[in-house]
């Protein structure tokens, strides 16, 4: 019996294979054994600092290890994942996995939701949950599609025989959306790497009609001063500068030595927990539940995601002369929306962001961080609905 919201539009041309997350028991037994056998570092001054100024503490790792072994159960995560419709399809020789809610309305607006690193499709499940509680397949105003980016979780790739970057991901996502029957138009939403993919979609792909993001990675626009900024905006810039100075070492490693760090973190689930767990601790407004962190790390481990998923960072090294968002070539000449969350890595002023696209929607929130879809699903959902309601009639010519 098929799940509700699982029927693609009749206009879909892609060959779709229904998918269920099913991890063999042997893999789970191996994971448990590796967690138990993993050796932690000896106590040091650095790993004893409770403010985490030098990274995650030994006490936190010990506590999380105990929870991983005693109270976290992957089967519960698997059941939750499998309660949503999922498919795989073949694009350019890659197997692309996606989770989605399909509407039965002919006028439903297609929206593609794009995650980043160290995220996954899991980030958007709370938003999907809210949509399926609010609507039926007959009344849902949107088609909501969450691809697993190439290299992440249940998607294959990237290719082994050639380079592959943000532009390639955008091309694959565009083909996915058109194959699902949305060639006449769709909206892209993204955070983190997903925001960069969304920009490529908006600039390079005709079928993407509007772009909404919750982060822009850029430098101060040329010729702009800080004189007009208020205290809140200055605080956001300070947060960005502090991140660049003390929080971006992981990105340098992933961008310059992805092979090395890939091998390191593929060797131990506790190493992966330390590397990724730090981001789920530092990049949020309020602490995430330990179960949410363990679920994401477990999914990464069981699907061998980490070594396959960090290739996009290589595009930043050596740093380009002009960041893409500052480059006129990548200005979004389509309806552009932005949701600002104060604990984002780069909570930038509106005056900066509007130099990167035709900004028609802006919402400033009081809470939330880098994982906005996971931290503040109600707020991001409401913003997306308002943005689409504002821009879509003009795009489609509807009354």
Domain boundaries, the chain: 1-398
Separation of alpha carbons 316 and 336, rounded Å: 24
Element (H, E) at 374: helix 372-375
pLDDT of 396 reads 64
Rounded distance, CA 319 to CA 339, Å? 26
Q: Is 90 helix (H, G, I), strand (E, B) or coil?
A: strand
Residue carrying structure tokens 């991983």: 68
Tokens at residue 192, please?
């983190």
pLDDT of amino acid 213: 98
pLDDT recorded at residue 391? 97
Is the whole model's pTM more than 0.85, yes or no? yes
Q: How far apart are CA 308 and CA 197, in angstroms?
A: 17
Tokens of 342: 């104060």
The rounded distance, in Å, linking the Cα atoms of 33 and 49 is 29
Q: Candidates 3.40.140.10, 3.40.50.1820, 3.40.50.300, 3.30.413.10; correct CATH number of 1-398? A: 3.40.50.1820
HEC per residue, 209-274: EEEEECCCCCCCCCCCCCCCCCHHHHHHHHHHHHHHHHHCHHHHHHHHCHHHHHHHHCCCHHHHHH
| Beta-carbon count within 10 A of 72 CB | 18
Angle among Cα 313, 319, 324 to the nearest 5 degrees reads 80
What pLDDT, on a 0 to 100 scale, did the predictor assign at position 227? 84
Averages of pLDDT over each 10 residues, the chain, 399 residues: 93 98 98 98 97 97 98 98 98 98 97 98 98 98 98 96 97 98 98 98 98 96 90 94 96 98 98 98 96 98 98 94 94 98 96 98 98 98 98 72
Phi, psi of 145 (to 5 degrees): -120, 125
Contact 142, 124 (CB under 8 A): no
User: How far apart, in whole angstroms, are the C-alpha atoms of residue 336 and residue 191?
Assistant: 14
Give yes or no for a contact between 98 and 16, defined as CB atoms under 8 angstroms apart.
no
| Cα angle, residue 366 at apex, residues 51 and 127 outer, rounded to 5° | 95
**Token couple for 283:** 């990049």
Gap between the Cα atoms of 215 and 346, Å rounded: 7
397: Cβ–Cβ under 8 A, 6 or more apart, which residues?
Answer: none
Known catalytic residues are 192, 313, 370
User: What are the backbone dihedrals phi and psi of residue 337, each rounded to the nearest 5 degrees, phi first?
Assistant: -120, 150
Q: Which two tokens stand for residue 120?
A: 């996954």
In the prediction, which pLDDT does 398 show?
A: 47
Whether 355 and 330 have beta carbons less than 8 Å apart is answered as no
Give the pLDDT of residue 399.
42
For residue 185, what pLDDT is reported? 97
Closest by Cα among 181, 381, 65, 171 to 56: 65
């Amino acid at each position: 019996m098929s799940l509700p919201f699982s029927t693609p539009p009749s206009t879909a041309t892609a060959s779709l294979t229904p998918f269920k997350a099913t991890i063999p028991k042997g893999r789970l037994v191996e994971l448990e054994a590796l967690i138990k056998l993993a050796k932690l570092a000896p106590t040091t001054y650095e790993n004893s600092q409770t403010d985490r100024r030098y990274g995650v503490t030994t006490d936190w790792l010990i506590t999380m290890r105990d929870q991983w072994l005693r109270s976290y159960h992957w089967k519960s995560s698997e059941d939750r994942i499998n309660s949503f419709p999922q498919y795989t399809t073949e694009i350019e020789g890659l197997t692309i996995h996606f989770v989605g809610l399909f509407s039965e309305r002919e006028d439903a607006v297609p929206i593609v939701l794009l995650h980043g690193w160290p995220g996954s499709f899991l980030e958007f499940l709370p938003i999907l949950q809210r949509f399926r509680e609010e609507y039926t397949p007959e009344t849902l105003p949107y088609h909501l599609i969450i691809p697993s980016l190439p290299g992440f979780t249940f998607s294959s790739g990237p290719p082994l025989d050639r380079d592959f970057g943000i532009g390639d991901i955008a091309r694959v996502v565009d083909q996915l959306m058109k194959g699902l029957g949305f060639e006449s138009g769709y909206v892209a939403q993204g955070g983190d790497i997903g925001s960069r993919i969304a920009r490529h979609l908006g600039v390079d792909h005709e079928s993407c009609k509007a772009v909404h993001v919750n982060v822009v990675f850029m430098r101060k626009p040329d010729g702009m001063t800080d004189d007009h900024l208020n205290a809140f905006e200055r605080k956001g810039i300070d947060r960005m500068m502090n991140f660049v100075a003390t929080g971006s070492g992981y990105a340098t490693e992933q961008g310059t030595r992805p092979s090395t760090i890939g091998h390191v973190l593929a060797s131990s689930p506790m190493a992966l927990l330390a590397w990724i767990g730090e981001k789920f601790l530092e990049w949020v407004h309020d602490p995430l539940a330990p179960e949410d962190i363990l679920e994401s790390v477990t999914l990464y481990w069981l699907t061998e995601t980490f070594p396959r998923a960090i290739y996009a960072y290589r595009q930043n090294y050596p740093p380009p002369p002009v960041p893409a968002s500052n480059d006129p070539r990548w200005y979004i000449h389509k309806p552009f929306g932005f949701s600002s969350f104060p604990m984002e890595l780069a909570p930038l002023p509106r005056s900066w962001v509007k130099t990167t696209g035709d900004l028609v929607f802006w919402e400033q929130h009081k809470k939330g961080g880098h994982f906005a879809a996971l931290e503040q699903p109600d707020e991001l959902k409401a913003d997306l609905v308002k943005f689409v309601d504002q821009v879509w009639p003009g795009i489609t010519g509807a009354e």
